[in-house]
Amino acid sequence: MVAAHTSHSSSSGEWIACLDKRPLERSSEDVDIIFTRLKEVKAFEKFHPNLLQQICLCGYYENLEKGITLFRQGDIGTNWYAVLTGSLDVKVSDTSNHQDAVTICTLGIGTAFGESILDNTPRHATIVTREYSELLRIEQKDFKALWETPLIEPHIPHRPTKTITQVPSEKILRAGKILRNTILSRAPHMIRDRKYHLKTYRQCCVGTELVDWMMQQSPCVHSRTQAVGMWQVLLEEGVLNHVDQEHHFQDKYLFYRFLDDEREDASLPTEEEKKECDEELQDTMLLLSQIGPDAHMRMILRKPPGQRTIDDLEFVYEELLHIKALSHLSTTVKRELAGVLIFESHPKAGTVLFNQGEEGTSWYIILKGSVNVVIYGKGVVCTLHEGDDFGKLALVNDAPRAASIVLREDNCHFLRVDKEDFNRILRDVEANTVRLKEHDQDVLVLEKIPAGNRVSNQGNSQPQHKYIVMSGTPEKILEHFLETMRLEATLNEATDSVLNDFIMMHCVFMPNSQLCPALMAQYPFPSQGTEQEKMDYALNNKRRVIRLVLQWAALYGDLLQEDEAAMAFLEEFYVSVSDDTRMIAALKEQLPELEKIVKQVSEEPKAPQKKHKVLLQLFNTSDDRAQKRQPIRGSDEVLFKVYCIDQTYTTIRVPVSSSVKEVISAVADKLGSGEGLIIVKMSSGGEKVVLKPHDVSVFTTLSVNGRLFACPRDQFDSLAPLPEQEGPSAGTVGTFELMSSKDLAHQMTIYDWELFNCVHELELIYHTFGRHNFKKTTANLDLFLRRFNEIQFWVVTEICLCSQLSKRVQLLKKYIKIAAHCKEYKNLNSFFAIIMGLSNVAVSRLSLTWEKLPSKFKKIYAEFESLMDPSRNHRAYRLTVAKLDPPIIPFMPLLIKDMTFTHEGNKTFTDNLVNFEKMRMIANTVRTVKFCRSQSFNPDAALTNKNHQDVRSYVRQLNVIDNQRTLSQMSHRLEPRRA
């Protein structure tokens, strides 16, 4: 089960409890729960399901605080480990006392270590936790048994060699046959003899025609670039060949021939073969669409840098955005790397990439596979995996290699940057960097980048370069943006996006309490110069400040009502501008807009407040009838039940944004005593999390059936879930099977749009950087994310509560149809929630049910599942979204993941300066939300006009079981595990 936003601490307790049992005591339900969690971990994603099941049976859970030594260099190993969360430092020492140990690398999430237990050799390094970490541990005897058991199916690699593969894999050979036969069946004119420059080429196709044809065959092919990558897969494996043996497929008038047509006696497909190919075509297209982008990337990177087109460079740059090792690099450096990276592959494990002591000539990034880092006298000190990099240190320091790198498995793929290119990029970046200093300290760092040679409306050529802010002090960044603001640009013009980045992100490094005085300081008259000079300077400067304030107020909207400093500033600023219009008439044109914003913001708080006084479990639904949903604000009040250890409750009335400390105070007032009270989140499965006093937004961050408990700390262990948290005991299939799938999807989309539309863009930033750091609520975002989990559990709940096999098959069909309609309505959040519900282990294991699902629905589901493919950072999903126009309801958990990836991979401050490149990257992700809502959602009038109150009420009040253990047990009762 993919949780949209809950932390590991609240969502992982159940599988941890399963791992804490002795292996012989683990039930099949326990194994399913552990399996569901482990298959999401990078270290296990390529493991065969049978092998992963064995690990679930023998693995143990460990959690360690920061600074704990797991084992020391020289110890005899007894366990193998995989990192689930956190990170650990690998330290190597030349002496026995370990005082001089140096950290040679860090092991992150998904890495594994400890293979030395296979041959009982001493540990080659000391491992120390860098932060709080969760590990999976396997004992030596179990690890040896797993290692020696042939559970892993043979893996057929892509063949990224410099020459076309002589022996194609069976999968790709079959794919080529299906495409050839389908073309001969549907468009036989495409394969024929061609004449060019007096030469005849037998039985050929044209590159552009092949791309055109593929675009027409399947909805999973979204662009010509994608189609090129799919044909490149066949070309790499020799199933399709260029007539002159070129190795790059091109969308041009070039001739290509299928392998079967190389023979003189190539036969035409029979009717039976045509029918088979028709049935297999969509599966073939799915396969090629999944592996095509990798082939396209390899194709580009095999070209000499000088031959790469602008489109090639853009394609590579987009791929680089999702590589962990490059996340901290600036956009400019990533774009430079796109032009010089070289693809390198090695087929055999044990190949030495370079030896310790050799001169460093290249920097490597692992695209696929893994390598061992070996130091003389110490052996293997760590293993690096996909997304990791190595070899950069020797280039930066111009020093010999500090270790040898040996391939750990067959068929490893790398990106390589050679020393000359690496140093040139560093030189170019530094040469294009401008540093503004005060008192010998950097206060603003700018980078010169190409601006594109554009021509303005007046016919004047615009500058070919521009300077972008990389880092700086908050005050200098503000000053720079004011100085460089183009006053002639309209508020909505794209050139203002950089200023919008500052306005959106300033809360991270320059809160309103700091920004407002700084803006006032930028506003007064200068004290030097002639009267005319003073007037000219004042006019431009004041117009820029007014412009920024207008954009700032437009972004914050009614959130400003909750910020007293901002409200006071706006009123003071308006008075100053009003006074200035008497002396500077040109300011009058901006005054009405400023006046409108000030009135709107200052008058609303005086109106009678409509408080949100509903229980959290119904935070959103039953009492809103047909009224338009309003965003929840931090000052809105909520009536909320907080339970005691005897399962009685007290109802408190507090603002939504209340901290845990304030909740404890409100509970203490009701109970008459609050000494030693703690507030605990309790899930339906019994996982308990003690909330910290400074935590905020506690009401909306509960799991679907979660509850809040208050108790003295010494009674924590005695807390137990409420019976009501278990969820329903009977399904609602009798109700919603009578509702049309389209109506259900439509009403779900209306409701999801209401929730999504209430999410303020700033809530994404508060969520990413920690809402407690801003003391702000993220209630609207929390509820939207919780809706994702609710829909997943609704799918699993209804199927697991359905005891009749034929009804379960109908339910599968129903959910697949609802998902299809959600996709049609561009409601990707519910679409993915339904598909992830169907892929939950409690549903996916029901083999008798899936066997009876008609093949048509199996194919639709397989296509939908392919969009969930997480490889290359959910590339399949991103390609789908790129083709859509707003309004769109996005897959919000992935947006959150993107922002977290950027946040965790880049420091907020570098050398005491704000890392504005990081701010820009996060703001760019937030802009996705703005784009999705740039057109308003207009419900289908034909469906809306029908009487759908029953459907509307149903989708807004889903009653679900959110306990994975319970769902797994129910699933096993429906279809016991086969012997």
Residue 618 confidence (pLDDT) above 60: no
Q: What is the mean pLDDT of residues 202-230?
A: 89
DSSP 771-818: HHHHT---HHHHHHHHHHHHHHHHHHHHHHT---HHHHHHHHHHHHHH
- Give the pLDDT band (50/70/90) at residue 6: very low
Is 541:482 a contact under the CB 8 Å cutoff? yes
Residue 459 confidence (pLDDT) above 60: no
Q: 31-64, pLDDT tens digit by residue? A: 888 888 887 776 676 666 777 888 888 888 888 9
Q: 148-170, pLDDT tens digit by residue? A: 665 433 333 333 333 344 467 88
- Nearest CA to 140 out of 123, 113, 124, 118 is that of 118
Q: What is the mean pLDDT of residues 358-364?
A: 90
What token pair was written down for 315? Answer: 């394609």
Q: 237-265, pLDDT tens digit by residue? A: 889 999 888 888 999 899 999 998 888 88
pLDDT at 796: 97
Q: What is the mean pLDDT of residues 286-299?
A: 87
* Plot region of 177 (φ>0 → left; ψ -120 to 50 → alpha; else → beta): alpha
Q: pLDDT exceeding 70 applies to what percent of the chain?
A: 88
Is 604:729 a contact under the CB 8 Å cutoff? no
**Average pLDDT, whole number, for the chain?**
84
Q: In what order do the strands lie in the sheet with 637-643?
A: 649-655, 637-643, 707-712, 677-682, 688-690
Q: Are strands 133-139 and 79-85 parallel, antiparallel or unpaired?
A: antiparallel
What does the H/E/C string look like for 841-878? HHHHCCHHHHHCCCHHHHHHHHHHHHHCCCHHHHHHHH
Distance CA 324, CA 313 (A): 19
pLDDT at 158: 32
What token pair was written down for 709? Answer: 């408990």
Q: Spell out the residues 6+ positions from residue 866 whose beta carbon is closer than 8 angstroms to its own.
A: 220, 286, 289, 290, 876
pLDDT at 119: 75
pLDDT at 489: 53
Burial environment of residue 599 by CB neighbours within 10 A (0 to 12, 13 to 18, 19 or more): exposed
- Give the pLDDT band (50/70/90) at residue 610: very low
pLDDT at 611: 43
Residue labelled with tokens 């700084």: 518
Q: In what order do the strands lie in the sheet with 433-438?
A: 433-438, 441-450, 465-472, 913-915, 909-910
- Stretch among 126-130, 157-161, 675-679, 890-894 having the lowest mean pLDDT: 157-161
Q: What is the mean pLDDT of residues 334-340?
A: 90
Residue 808 confidence (pLDDT) above 80: yes
538 vs 354 pLDDT, higher one? 354
- Give the pLDDT band (50/70/90) at residue 410: confident
Q: pLDDT exceeding 90 applies to what percent of the chain?
A: 38
- Stretch among 140-154, 291-305, 866-880, 886-900 having the lowest mean pLDDT: 140-154
What pTM, to 2 d.p., does this model score? 0.77
869 vs 617 pLDDT, higher one? 869
Distance CA 147, CA 58 (A): 13
Is 880:867 a contact under the CB 8 Å cutoff? yes
Q: Give, as one character, the DSSP assignment of residue 589.
A: G
Residue 602 confidence (pLDDT) above 90: no
Residue labelled with tokens 């110890």: 75
- Give the pLDDT band (50/70/90) at residue 12: low
pLDDT at 457: 44
pLDDT at 772: 87
Q: What is the mean pLDDT of residues 407-434?
A: 88
What token pair was written down for 102? Answer: 């140096």
